[in-house]
């Protein structure tokens, strides 16, 4: 292996540290405590684990954490009433509804109900429009996290060829917009792309987000490329019965012999998501109070 393994866990801890510093300053200088509200509908075990992690990290950086657990059969009206109250609450600067929600609710309608200025998941059409127009909004956490890792690794990305594999609203499309803002030449590839290996092989920056375990082979990677692996697939552990193992979209072993730098799975992009959620909540708090935004924590 020759590639630098990008330590997302350590970098996320550094980001949380920066957030914590800003939060302490906000409290001290302005008496303001940023607040993040998480709405959880139903009792999906994976969601509960994730919401608990968000709560813990929110408190750790000194922010206020508000949790709203609603029954799985909550009506849209009742859910919207909760969201409306959070929209109106000046102590709440960020709101997210943990997805998936039960089938009788529409994720699209839920996101649209959240005040775009508090949409710290950056999932709303309003924030997609701001990003697409090069205006200031809130950027979806996972692409923002990848951008931070890339900036840290590469500095100036101007003129680099970036290839994003995957075109979801949640990740691929906003990631492409962010790389374009960094003055990369950006290619968006996906399931219909022909000669995907060849397309990937041109990438100075290769971002894989398709959710197909180890699809990107080492010989698809341009020598010296920076590889960001956003995929997470859980498989039964090959050696430990009853245990599971996480795989990325990139075949790490072969790719790390070719790339200059690569994110592992787990421990790469994953930890950045909650760190960026906290960064977005801080940013939203500063904006709503007319204070300068923290540097290095936004797109």
Structure letter (DSSP) for residue 116: G
Q: Which stretch binds its own copies (CB under 8 A): 69-77, 120-128, 214-222, 246-254?
A: 120-128
Q: x/- contact string, 224-243, with its own copies (CB under 8 A)? A: --------------------
Structure letter (DSSP) for residue 7: -
Q: x/- contact string, 190-229, with its own copies (CB under 8 A)? A: x-xxx----x------------------------------
Quick check: 116 and 126 in contact, CB under 8 A?
A: yes
Q: Which contacts qualify for 101-110: CB closer than 8 Å, 24 or more apart? A: 101/41, 101/42, 102/41, 102/42, 102/72, 102/73, 104/73, 104/76, 105/41, 105/74, 105/76, 105/79, 106/76, 109/76, 110/79, 110/83
Among residues 185, 233, 254, 288, the one that binds its own copies under rule CB under 8 A? 185
Q: Which stretch binds its own copies (CB under 8 A): 26-34, 97-105, 142-150, 154-162?
A: 154-162
- Provide the minimum distance between the beta carbon of 133 and its own copies in the complex, in angstroms, as a whole number: 5
Quick check: 32 and 58 in contact, CB under 8 A?
A: no
What span, in angstroms and rounded, lies between the C-alpha atoms of 43 and 124? 24
Q: Which residue's structure tokens are 């990740």?
A: 171
Q: Which CB atom, from 47 or from 185, has the smaller least distance to its own copies?
A: 185
Query: Under rule CB under 8 A, which residues in 121-140 are in contact with its own copies?
Result: 124-135
Q: Is 130 left (phi over 0), alpha (psi -120 to 50) or beta?
A: alpha
What span, in angstroms and rounded, lies between the C-alpha atoms of 207 and 249? 9
Among residues 100, 102, 159, 296, the one that binds its own copies under rule CB under 8 A? 159
Q: Report whether 134 belongs to an annotated binding site.
A: no
Q: Report whether 140 belongs to an annotated binding site.
A: no
Q: Which CB atom, from 13 or from 197, has the smaller least distance to its own copies?
A: 197
Kind and range of the H or E run holding 261: strand 261-262
Report if residue 177 touches its own copies, rule: CB under 8 A.
yes
Where in the sequence numbering do the catalytic residues fall?
Answer: 54, 98, 121
Q: Report whether 47 belongs to an annotated binding site.
A: no
Beta partners for residue 94, in sequence order: 36
Three-state DSSP at 200 gives helix
**Binding footprint of its own copies, residue count (CB under 8 A):** 32
- Provide the minimum distance between the beta carbon of 175 and its own copies in the complex, in angstroms, as a whole number: 12
Among residues 61, 79, 83, 186, the one that binds its own copies under rule CB under 8 A? 186
- Provide the minimum distance between the beta carbon of 198 and its own copies in the complex, in angstroms, as a whole number: 9
**Which residues are at the interface with its own copies (CB under 8 A)?**
124-135, 158-159, 161, 167, 169, 173, 176-177, 180, 183, 185-190, 192-194, 199
Binding residues for NADP(+): 166-168, 232
């Amino acid at each position: 292996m020759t590639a630098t393994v990008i330590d997302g866990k350590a970098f996320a801890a550094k980001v949380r540290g920066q957030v914590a510093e800003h939060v302490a300053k906000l409290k001290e200088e302005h008496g303001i405590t940023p607040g993040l509200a998480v709405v959880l509908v139903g009792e999906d075990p994976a969601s509960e684990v994730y919401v608990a992690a968000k709560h813990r990290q929110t408190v750790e950086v000194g922010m206020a954490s508000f949790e709203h657990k609603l029954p799985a059969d909550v009506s849209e009206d009742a859910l919207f009433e909760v969201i409306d109250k959070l929209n109106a609450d000046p102590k709440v600067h960020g709101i997210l509804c943990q997805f998936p929600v039960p089938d009788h609710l529409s994720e699209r309608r839920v996101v649209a109900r959240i005040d775009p200025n508090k949409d710290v998941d950056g999932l709303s059409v309003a924030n997609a429009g701001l990003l697409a127009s090069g205006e200031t909004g809130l950027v979806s956490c996972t692409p923002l996290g990848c951008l931070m890792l890339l900036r840290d690794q590469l500095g100036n990305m101007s003129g680099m060829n970036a290839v994003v594999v995957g075109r979801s609203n949640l990740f691929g499309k906003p990631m492409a917009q962010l790389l374009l803002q960094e003055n990369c030449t950006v290619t968006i590839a996906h399931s219909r792309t022909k000669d995907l290996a060849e397309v990937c092989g041109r990438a100075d920056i290769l971002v894989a987000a398709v959710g197909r375990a180890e699809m990107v082979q080492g010989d698809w990677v341009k020598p010296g490329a920076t590889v960001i692996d956003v995929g997470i697939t859980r498989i039964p552990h090959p050696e430990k019965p009853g245990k599971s193992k996480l795989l990325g979209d990139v075949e790490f072993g072969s790719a790390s012999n070719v790339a200059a730098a690569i994110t592992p799975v787990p421990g790469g992009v994953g930890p950045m998501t909650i760190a960026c959620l906290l960064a977005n909540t801080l940013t939203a708090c500063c904006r709503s109070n007319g204070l300068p935004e923290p540097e290095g924590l936004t797109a």
